A and B are shown apart, each in its own frame.
Chain A
Amino acid sequence: MTGDLPSAPPRRIPAGRLAVYAIVGSIGLALMFAPFLFPDLRAQEVAARICVFIVLVASYDLLIGYTGIVSFAHTMFFGLGAYGTATALKAMGPGFDAILIGGGAGVVAALVLAALIGLLSLRVKAIFFAMVTLAAASVMLVLASQLSDLTGGEDGMTYEVPRLFSAATKLLTDADGKTLRLFGAAMNGKIAAYYFVFFSSLVLFVLMLRIVGSPLGTVLMAIRENEMRAEAIGYRVVAYRTAIFCIAAVIAALAGVLRAVWLKYVGPDVALSFAIMIDLLLMVVIGGMGTMVGAVIGVVVMSLAQFYLKDLMEVGAAATADLPLLPDLLNPDRWLLWLGLLFILLVYFFPAGIAGTLMGKGTRK
């Protein structure tokens, strides 16, 4: 931030910061061309999930990293967007009007709920606020499972998405009338859906970058650093806290809309459960709180581990089949053990998160 100040002497960008920008830039490019670089179906699922989760984790970072608000209701807002979209698509049939109305309703519900929770409880101590969000999220989870006529209960619900996003839709055809393939990627509706998710996520992420660099962003950091002094120089802390809580909720709900459109399925496991909340927490901590770009790194590291660690271990187990003990340790069934170990190592070597620790290198005096 200080780089733009008129009085600050021109400074070279520290190596750590450069490394982080290089990593995030490559991730951005990889996601941009993911359908061509990684044409198989599973990789596309992973890439789309990464896009949506970057938005979700970055919006959570606005709260926990920038403002110092601990909330456990972030997946609730995500779920509102996803369930709103899904319910409308199921009721009204596949169309963009359904996405607009259902998604819009989910976003508005998230905004209203966030404003209520914020105004009623952001005055109280942080720990009570965290408990209130936990309670609200639990109620929502119970509601989703009880109102099964509307939500599909524990099983969730499947639905159709607009034809443009359907895998059967041929966007480009070759001479024989078959779906054209470019660099191994089929030019069907799935690729349209991916780029819908990718560009929407990109817009939301850039919006959040603007917010943290704006005057509002500096006030959020001031509140995190010293709430009492922020109030004493003239900032209404409760109003700012409520505002950012609402903004983060709306962005999370929009991420939920993207998730619902991509998956064609919504259920507690993919849009509402506390397991997702814990994933968010881990991703934001691993990436680096209060850095925004940390969200990108955290989501990618964690998603790749969750999706590919098993595969890697299978290869490892096969390669070491003749050795004692090792194949047992590398048995894919034990992947959670290794995931846990990976987290511990990451937190140990990158105490401020990967982005946070790298960017701190070379800048401390």
Chain B
Amino acid sequence: MSTPSLRTERLTIRFGGHVAVHGVTCAFRPGELTAIVGPNGAGKTTWFNLVSGQLTPTEGRIFLGERDITGLSPSARALAGVGRAFQLTNLFPRLTVLENVRLAVQARRRAGGRLLSRAAADRDTIAEAMRYVERTRLAAVAGLPAAALPHGDQRKLEVALLLAMEPQVFMFDEPTAGMSVDEAPAILELIAEIREDRSKTILLVEHKMDVVRALADRIVVLHNGELVADGRPGAVMALPIVREIYLGVGAEKAA
């Protein structure tokens, strides 16, 4: 089995008296898509924020490969290979779709500091950005400001930004949230494509169990900030504790 690409050790964050994430130790390997599930308030997004650097842990460490990235800023982590798409759409609203993606390509190429060349003349960066725009089926709206896109396209643009970062670790936070039934498959197809590659680590926070079943190689269950189950989807779903805390309500209703 290959070495983990991402590892958290006893990762903990407290807000005052509230422990939002409590001692989560977990490792993720390349080529594996892990779904992170749990009821609302379980600490999934908080754990994501700790890994991508928006929050600083109270205790514990985060490793990217062998490297301890606990003390790095979000930008340094992004350049090191941790890429994150956000749950609430989080774009550059007045810039065009292509400009949004171009910014991500430019950051990866560390070309943002150039101050006397013309950004619009950087054919390589633009052509590369355009490939991601096409791959996310946004070519028709490439020239529109991000704010003018319908919600589904904004979610696709979220994914396009993440793809353009070419990270080692892809983090999707409810990528299909708020999408209509006919919009969601396009996003899921994109995630499946990344998974096909079998070289990247993919983390997926998702509520919809059919999505989890279709994509996940492994499921991690968080509850009240703690990791309560971790394993193959079939095995995890069958655990009594999981049925109780996560599926309990639904199971009772079905019964």
Hey, which bits of chain A sit against chain B, CB under 8 A?
Answer: 1-8, 210-211, 213-219, 221-222, 225-226, 228-237, 240, 243, 247, 365
Asked whether B98 is an interface residue with its Cβ less than 8 Å from the other chain, the reply is yes
A interface SS class: helix
Contact partner of B96 (CB less than 8 A), chosen from A2, A217, A219, A243, is: A2
A1 touches B99 (CB 8 A): yes
Hey, which bits of chain B sit against chain A, CB under 8 A?
Answer: 52, 54, 73-76, 78-79, 84, 86, 90-96, 98-99, 102-104, 106-108, 111-123, 125-127, 130, 139, 142-144, 148, 161, 165
Known: A234-B165, A237-B75. A229 touches B120 (CB 8 A): no
Contact partner of B74 (CB less than 8 A), chosen from A3, A6, A226, A231, is: A231
Chain A residues, Cβ within 8 Å of B113: 215-216, 243
A219 touches B143 (CB 8 A): no
A222 touches B103 (CB 8 A): yes
Instruction: State the 4 A-B residue pairs at the shortest beta-carbon distance, nearest first.
Output: A234-B107, A234-B78, A4-B120, A225-B92
A216 touches B95 (CB 8 A): no
A225 touches B122 (CB 8 A): no
Chain B residues, Cβ within 8 Å of A222: 92, 95, 103
A230 to B75, CA, bound (A): 8
Known: A218-B106, A219-B103. A229 touches B90 (CB 8 A): yes
Chain B residues, Cβ within 8 Å of A213: 118-120
Known: A1-B120, A214-B119. A235 touches B112 (CB 8 A): yes
Chain A residues, Cβ within 8 Å of B123: 6
Kindly provide the distance from the CB of B145 to the nearest chain A CB, expressed in whole angstroms.
Answer: 9
Known: A226-B91, A233-B165. A6 touches B127 (CB 8 A): yes
A289 to B32, CA, bound (A): 47
A7 touches B130 (CB 8 A): yes
Chain A residues, Cβ within 8 Å of B108: 234
B93 touches A215 (CB 8 A): no
Contact partner of B75 (CB less than 8 A), chosen from A3, A221, A235, A365, is: A235
Contact partner of B115 (CB less than 8 A), chosen from A1, A2, A216, A231, is: A216
Kindly provide the distance from the CB of B163 to the nearest chain A CB, expressed in whole angstroms.
Answer: 11
Chain A residues, Cβ within 8 Å of B86: 229, 232
Kindly provide the distance from the CB of B189 to the nearest chain A CB, expressed in whole angstroms.
Answer: 22
Can you show 24 pairs from A to B with CB atoms below 8 A apart? A1-B96, A5-B98, A7-B98, A7-B139, A7-B142, A211-B115, A215-B111, A215-B114, A215-B115, A218-B95, A219-B103, A221-B92, A222-B92, A228-B90, A229-B161, A230-B92, A231-B75, A232-B52, A232-B90, A233-B75, A233-B78, A233-B161, A234-B78, A237-B75
